[in-house]
A = this chain, B = another copy of it.
Amino acid sequence: MTDSLIQPRTLKGFRDYLPATMVRREWMMQTARQVYRRFGFVPIDTPALEYFEILTGKGSEETDKQMYHFEHGRHHVGMRFDLTIPLARFVAQHHVTVGLPFKRYQIAPVWRGENTQAGRYREFSQCDFDTIGTESVLADIETICVAHDLLAALKLPAFEICINSRKVLKGLLQSIDAGDRATVVLRALDKFDKLGEDVVAKELEEVAQLVPPQIDAVLAMARITGSNTEIIDQLQKLLGSQADAAEGIDRLKLICDALSDMNVAPERVQINLRIARGLDYYTGIVFETILSDLPEIGSVCSGGRYDNLAGKYTKQYLPGIGGSLGLDRLLAALEQLGSGDETAASRTIFIPYFDADRLKDYLQIATAVRQAGFDVELYPEPKKLGQQLKYADFRGFPIALIAGSQELDAGKCQIKDLRNKTTMDASWRPSVKPLTEAIATTLKPVAIDL
């Protein structure tokens, strides 16, 4: 009597990560942790579930609508849809304990029940870093540096961090008496690089309801390009007399100057006056990061400065600046570009379990090679060698260590390079050193980082 089988499947919009993808993902997350810590950020974690009232109202209506939420016991609970609201709640709750300024990172999944037709997933991971409790330009500079070092550490060949200032945009809007239409104007401006000037002009007229001189002023600013120095010069002429804009221009200049003195190549950071970042809580610097070889996938690392993170939960004024690495978008990009391939490829040494009577010898050789710092998979059953090598090919192991009873008796084994089918002999008893040195030579020049 057997029950009928249940079809094994995942929910629509959800996915499994198979090993090859997951190895790359772990490498990305570990790289992010290392870069964040390099700049003094510390990790926190928060629950997947929060009180519904904590999660609502701070994001947009859209995220409220997309939230997974339900009744549990006497409470209405929701699954977090970003890491910013949990951070705001966390800092409101713990700022005395953790102290200010507070630099934290958090890498964790979030859930949004969005329309999956756009190829979006309903579960994805965010990888955020924020500096809370300071308005200093130093935090702005280091935020851009973190974005830079992060992308560099992920071995992306070419990327550009585009920065802009909401203060400049605010100044522009005030100068044309359109401060009350910030959100719609910024949303239109964000489309400039992708859809072109005409689309923006039309949207400024029809949606933002600006008149021609206002539209001209917005477009005049958006058209400014050149080196960062040139852009700042032109901005100063155009908007330097407006107080907010002047403040924004000064800060852009400070940032660009400082970065050129640090570990950041000048071509990596570009002022782009058309970057607005749709969400309306930013108040200072905003930034996006475009992969030069894959601009169509959009920004892979974005963020900006905000005035008051947690006003919904505390009277404590908490300005800050933060950024977010788009883990899943970047994962797709890395796979397309082949970056991190050497990390994703198996570096595990394969040992066929060849002679059934010599279990202990196989365990000993595996243990010795592991203790020398290599990952080793020992085949669990004494099947035919050919079958085991087929499995090794399927798995993509670079090297197999083959030993029958004669080799085992002599304390030797054969190192078979499964990629180019060459072989060499090495002894592993009484010392494993000749063997592990030969393995290290064979595996070079592959990186050893996890």
Residues of A within 8 A of B (CB): 3, 5-11, 14-19, 22-23, 25-26, 30, 33-34, 37-40, 42-51, 53-54, 68, 70-73, 75, 77, 79, 89-90, 92-94, 97-99, 101, 103-104, 109, 111, 113, 123, 131, 134, 136-139, 141-142, 145, 254, 257-258, 261-263, 310, 312-315, 346, 348, 353, 359-360, 362-364, 367, 370-371, 374-381, 391, 394-395, 450
Contacts and interface: CB of A to CB of B under 8 A. Distances in A.
Nearest to A41: B377
Contacts of A99: 391, 394-395
A370 B39 contact: yes
A237 B53 CA distance: 66
A39 B380 contact: no
**Looking at A16, A30, A39, which has the most chain B CB atoms within 10 Å of its CB?**
A16
A139 B94 contact: no
Contacts of A315: 5
Contacts of A15: 47
A375 B37 CA distance: 6
Contacts of A33: 26, 450
Contacts of A50: 10-11
Contacts of A371: 263
Give the interface SS of chain A, mostly helix, strand, loop or mixed. Answer: mixed
Given A5-B313, A39-B377, A40-B375, 15 more contacts: A5-B312, A8-B90, A11-B51, A11-B77, A14-B47, A17-B44, A37-B450, A40-B348, A49-B111, A70-B70, A99-B395, A101-B379, A136-B381, A254-B359, A263-B370
Nearest to A259: B363
Given A99-B395, A136-B380, A376-B40, A47 B94 contact: no
A97 B34 CA distance: 32
A145 B94 CA distance: 41
Contacts of A25: 43, 45
A49 B14 contact: yes
Nearest to A37: B375
Contact of A109 (B48, B53, B138): B48
A373 to B, nearest CB: 9
